[in-house]
Structure 1
Amino acid sequence: MPAGLVISAPASGVGKTTLTLALARAWRNRGLNVQCFKSGPDYIDPAFHAAATGRASVNVDSWAMDRATISHLVSRGADADVVLAEGSMGLFDGVAARGVSGTGATADIAEMLGWPVLLVIDPSGQAQTAAAIAAGLRDYRPGVRLAGVVLNRVASQRHEDLVRRALDDAGIAVFGALPRHAEINLPKRHLGLVQAEEQAEIGKLIDEAARFVAEHVDLDAVLRSAASWSPQSAANGLNVTPPGQRIALARDAAFSFVYPHMLEAWRAAGADISTFSPLADEAPDASADVCWLPGGYPELHAGKIAANAHFRSGLRAFAETRPVHGECGGYMVLGTALTDADGVCHEMAGLLGLETSFAKRRMHLGYRLAELAAPMPGHRAGARLRGHEFHYSTILAQPDTALAVVHDATGAVIAETGSRRGNTTGTFFHLIAEDR
């Protein structure tokens, strides 16, 4: 029977991902089968999980998914020895208005699955106050159970002793304390971690993290703190219709932000996915019946995309007879122009009138509920789609017919409506699920 555990923290940036990867690899090195999940709308961390465990990881999200969908997704851990769900942001951080089965908080997943929480606490600039924070998180929500704490970035033995004593007085177990260790810092850029597939040394980095954590954390005690878990059998609750029978999917360093559960759902429904690389000047497969451009980092590669005439002409030819859809970065590339960080304007595919600028940076972040005014690949007019938006680009022009009425998590209508023109559609949000 698998043992389930949630890795969370009081806030972002304290080491959740590093600890998750290290624990997963360390237990895998001991011969255990480890299955990871990511709580919340993060399309980068699952690839790191897969690199650490050798098993595909998927997202679970209480704002966008119902319990049947979450149960179906986590059931893949039924044959594992250990199941780890990495949280996002702080343990109780979500949106103000409840979504399908929660607010998107990691605590929702912990309570729903009955898995205790292993807290990563960074006590930099404090000592006993770290225990007060941990105790507050332990007591904040009765249905969420705390397993214990791993301290990260402790400054000295004296610092560690002060924090440990305070946590012990609060009745909170400390499984280990990690001193600062620059060698296992994961590189970052403006949308989060540099992707696993872009890091040639990722395996060595995870091995070093596993060695370091095994040296400073009681792995056996952490494993004993996990809850025995019997997955509930669940029918496929994904409620996903593939956008086509044969899907041409853009896939490279500029087009990589797609939720793994969506691709799996498409394949499970019988779709065939062929990938192509716009950065390698490849066009979509002519035998496909739909083309899908996911998000990613086109703003970092705008000059190359603009210069790749074979890709752009092939995409235009494809769109003359078949549907093309883009999400976020893919949507930007379907537009007329993209201005990079240096203020240089690059010509894009021109299938939509959208013009965007990365030089005028402003963060757009949050859950999105879209009510489609017209069909898009895989979804009928009137469908309610749940997704998440995270980008820094600014819309300079969005002249085409709106694809949807889009609301944020508070219900407010936002300007990023998506666009449609002929066979081409695009949105700034990344699709997670469709309401039943």
Structure 2
Amino acid sequence: MRGLLVSAPASGTGKTTVMLGLLRALAEDGLVVQPFKSGPDYIDPAFHRAACGRASFNLDTWGMGPRLLAAVAAQAQGAEICVAEGSMGLYDGVATRGQTGFGSSAETARRMGWPVVLVLDVGGQAQSAAATALGFRQYMPDLPFAGVILNRVASARHARLTQLGMERAGLPVLGVLPRRGDLTLPERHLGLIQAAEHPDLEAAIAGYAEFLRAHVDFAAIRAAAEGAPLPSKTPLPSPPAQRIALAQDAASSFTYPHLLEGWRAAGAEVLPFSPLADEPPDPRADLVWLPGGYPELHAGTLAAASRFRAGLCAHAQSRPVHGECGGYMVLGRALIDKQGARHEMAGLLGLVTSYESRKLHLGYRRAALLGPMPGQSEGALLRGHEFHYSTIVEQPDAPLAEVSDADGTPVPETGSRRGHATGTFFHLIAQEEPQ
């Protein structure tokens, strides 16, 4: 399972554009490329797929146990090279060990045997950048390390001085990228916009690949790839129902790829529908699943989607409905947008949420279920991740779970249950594996 992990000292250094350019260029060279994302990211995998034509999966050493990590890694079957994108800085994680680690990108690289390609923003420094790179190289001595890509280089003189520092530190330079103002992706409050919303994603990715070809040593990149043996094919998480009506549009888009792949691989029928297009869930469905997304940006449209709401409520009279984060908000009674306007939602739960006064809720979550939810029984221990800016105004229903952060500190976002409806603010990663 030869591969590389693209990381950086911090967010905002250009690793995502480097990642997309590498994926596209390697695919253009005829390689079957398997992309991965280290950590709990909901957006980047869709960009990866657009770049190389193959579904990307999250690898998460905090949220996933050994068997699930192996099952996700086994999705590389048939690929010739793996390229993973790190989250935040290379060593950034949490303080308390999860299923197999602390959630850092370095742990993913070490576990999979993938050498790290460190993307360095060298703006405002020259030889000093080597000290930063050397510190990252030596912080975890047994971490496989491929070399560095120097980003935002101002001139030929700047490149020469920075490379001299790297030579002195004994660090291979795999590429030198001149400063360019257009090598960025559009963003909004949760990070990048979704891949489907990019005004011209294909042209952007093609441009990244062309830029990298001119400034990166692809022969050295390919030669640096290493890895552990590919795990045997093991099952991904089983589906929570046989026929699953899955909301899929700009307001409902965040479901972990390994879950969807596991559902389909086990023979479940996934029936997409669009609440924004006022489509009701398929009446044949055993379960309606509303993923996270951006309902706060489409609250008026969702409030006016009468066919969707009627179909959802009809389903919930006798069969389960579950919502995650944005989907949970849609199941509630009302959503207050950033202008303070109140929009009526499905009303299957009593939840009222507000985006008017933004507050960041971010981090891993561990949940002990106080009642059943689709695919999980009462008492199940779950791992997930929460990332949103909305606040709870009212939550009158029974809590779904006792929820804590990665360090065991309780959080107030416990989820809700009423009748056949359940919801959580965390996105499910996995059920905890037995120790």
TM-score normalised per structure 2: 0.98
| Aligned counterpart, 2:91 | 92
Rounded to whole Å, the distance in 1 between the matches of 2:227 and 2:429 is 29
Pair 1:295-2:298 in alignment = no
Instruction: Call closer, same or farther: CA 1:388–1:228 in 2, change over 3 Å.
Output: closer
Deviation of 1:229 (Å) = 4.6
Rounded to whole Å, the distance in 2 between the matches of 1:281 and 1:234 is 39
Pair 1:38-2:18 in alignment = no
| Aligned counterpart, 2:419 | 422
| Aligned counterpart, 2:201 | 202
Rounded to whole Å, the distance in 2 between the matches of 1:360 and 1:336 is 18
* 1:345 maps to amino acid: R
Match of 2:307 among 294, 305, 310: 310
Rounded to whole Å, the distance in 1 between the matches of 2:310 and 2:77 is 46
The equivalences for 1:11-410 within 5 A come to: 11-227=10-226, 229-236=228-235, 238=236, 240-410=237-407
- Residues 3 and 223, structure 1, Cα contact 8 Å, conserved in 2: no
Deviation digits for residues 118-170 of structure 1 (CA, Å, limit 9, x no counterpart): 00000122222211111011001122121100011112222222211111100
* 1:148 maps to amino acid: G
Mean Cα deviation higher: 69-78 or 263-272? 69-78
SS at match of 1:121: strand
Deviation of 1:102 (Å) = 0.5
Rounded to whole Å, the distance in 2 between the matches of 1:429 and 1:340 is 20
Number of corresponding residues: 433
Deviation of 1:90 (Å) = 0.6
Rounded to whole Å, the distance in 1 between the matches of 2:340 and 2:177 is 43
- Residues 50 and 56, structure 1, Cα contact 8 Å, conserved in 2: yes
* 2:345 maps to amino acid: M
Rounded to whole Å, the distance in 2 between the matches of 1:330 and 1:13 is 29
Mean Cα deviation higher: 295-304 or 142-151? 142-151
* 1:220 maps to amino acid: A
Give aligned-pair identity as a percent.
Answer: 58
Rounded to whole Å, the distance in 2 between the matches of 1:245 and 1:233 is 26
- Residues 68 and 234, structure 1, Cα contact 8 Å, conserved in 2: no
- Which aligned segments of 4 or more residues in structure 1 are displaced greater than 6 angstroms? none
SS at match of 1:35: strand
Deviation of 1:15 (Å) = 1.3
Deviation digits for residues 374-413 of structure 1 (CA, Å, limit 9, x no counterpart): 0000000000010000000011111110000001001011
Rounded to whole Å, the distance in 2 between the matches of 1:105 and 1:261 is 19
Rounded to whole Å, the distance in 2 between the matches of 1:177 and 1:341 is 42
Deviation of 1:242 (Å) = 1.7
- Residues 352 and 392, structure 2, Cα contact 8 Å, conserved in 1: yes
Rounded to whole Å, the distance in 1 between the matches of 2:341 and 2:179 is 40
Mean Cα deviation higher: 199-208 or 97-106? 199-208
The gaps in structure 2 that reach 5 residues or longer are none
User: Root-mean-square deviation (CA), in Å?
Assistant: 1.1
Rounded to whole Å, the distance in 2 between the matches of 1:340 and 1:59 is 31
TM-score normalised per structure 1: 0.97
The gaps in structure 1 that reach 5 residues or longer are none
Deviation of 1:232 (Å) = 2.5
Mean Cα deviation higher: 371-380 or 143-152? 143-152
